[in-house]
């Protein structure tokens, strides 16, 4: 059984928990103008992108032989892969060529998320908040999609590699989900209508 571990690694990753609070205190008086329609479209993008990210991970594991039962149904995958999701073991078994592709894919994932933030508004505070909103939804949907598909993570205490850029970042799953939840709440609290 996994036990609760407070800190992510490397240690600087733990500072991400401060981002929603810093954003809130920076713009709490002025607020952020992001129309509901824009937030809905960004949420739809984040939802689709989160599922796509989970599917890509499953494809990578299947192509490298790290996803038992992938030739069958999702029920077969869930049943046969329940015990193999120790992330460090999976990464160690990932062929170097796929690791390189994964590294590059993550860079382009960030470029896509930053780009969607930039085109969502003319103003930098709103662009940054739009990026955070989309990122938080993408990240949450990623974990939900994996759980629905293969029942991983089996617990919020499971470890996951968050990013490989510039070095591997990892933590228990509760940490990125907490940061994403706080970010979503922060954006909703900061959002002001045009009439306000």
* Total Cβ atoms within 10 A of residue 139: 22
Angstrom distance (rounded) from CA 35 to CA 125:
14
Asked whether residue 2 is domain-assigned, the answer is no
Asked whether residue 95 is domain-assigned, the answer is yes
Provide the residue range defining the domain that includes 86: 11-190
- Answer for the pair 66, 93: CB distance below 8 angstroms, yes or no: yes
Q: In total, how many domains does the chain have? A: 1
Asked whether residue 3 is domain-assigned, the answer is no
Asked whether residue 127 is domain-assigned, the answer is yes
Output the pLDDT for position 164. 76
Asked whether residue 155 is domain-assigned, the answer is yes
Residue 184 has pLDDT above 70, yes or no: yes
Strands 169-172 and 159-163: antiparallel
Q: What is the dihedral of CA 18, 19, 22, 24, to 10 degrees?
A: -120
The pTM of the full predicted model, rounded to 2 decimals, is 0.85
pLDDT digits 0-9 by tens, 123-168: 999 999 999 999 999 999 999 999 998 888 888 998 888 887 878 8
- Residue bearing tokens 């490397």: 10
Asked whether residue 130 is domain-assigned, the answer is yes
The token duo for 59 is: 């494809």
3-state secondary structure string across the chain: CCCCCCCCECHHHHHHHHHHHHHHHHHCCCCECCCHHHHHHHHHHHHHHHHHHHHHHHHHHHHCCCCCCCCCCHHHHHHHHCCCCCHHHHHHHCCHHHHHHHHHHHHHHHHHHHHHHHCCCCCHHHHHHHHHHHHHHHHHHHHHHHHHHHCCCCCCCCEEEEECCCCCEEEECHHHHHHHHHHHHHHHHHECCCCC
Angstrom distance (rounded) from CA 77 to CA 67:
7
pLDDT digits 0-9 by tens, 40-75: 999 999 999 999 999 988 887 776 665 555 555 656
Asked whether residue 5 is domain-assigned, the answer is no
Residue 196 has pLDDT above 50, yes or no: no
Asked whether residue 1 is domain-assigned, the answer is no
Output the pLDDT for position 66. 58
């Amino acid at each position: 059984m996994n036990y609760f571990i407070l800190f992510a690694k490397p240690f600087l990753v733990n500072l991400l928990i401060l981002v929603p609070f810093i954003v809130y205190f920076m713009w709490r008086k002025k607020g952020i103008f992001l129309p509901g329609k824009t937030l809905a479209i960004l949420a739809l993008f984040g939802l689709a992108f989160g599922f796509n990210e989970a599917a890509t991970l499953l494809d990578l594991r299947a192509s490298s032989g790290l996803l038992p039962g992938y030739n069958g149904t999702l029920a077969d995958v869930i049943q046969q892969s329940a015990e193999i999701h120790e992330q460090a073991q999976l990464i160690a078994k990932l062929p170097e060529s796929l690791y390189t592709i994964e590294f590059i894919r993550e860079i382009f994932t960030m470029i896509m998320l930053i780009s969607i933030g930039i085109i969502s508004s003319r103003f930098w505070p709103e662009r940054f908040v739009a990026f955070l909103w989309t990122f938080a939804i993408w990240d949450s949907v990623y974990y939900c999609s994996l759980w629905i598909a293969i029942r991983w993570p089996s617990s919020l205490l499971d470890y996951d590699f968050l990013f490989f850029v510039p070095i591997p970042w990892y933590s228990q799953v509760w940490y990125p989900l907490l940061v994403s939840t706080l970010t979503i709440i922060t954006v909703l609290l900061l959002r002001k209508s045009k009439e306000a």
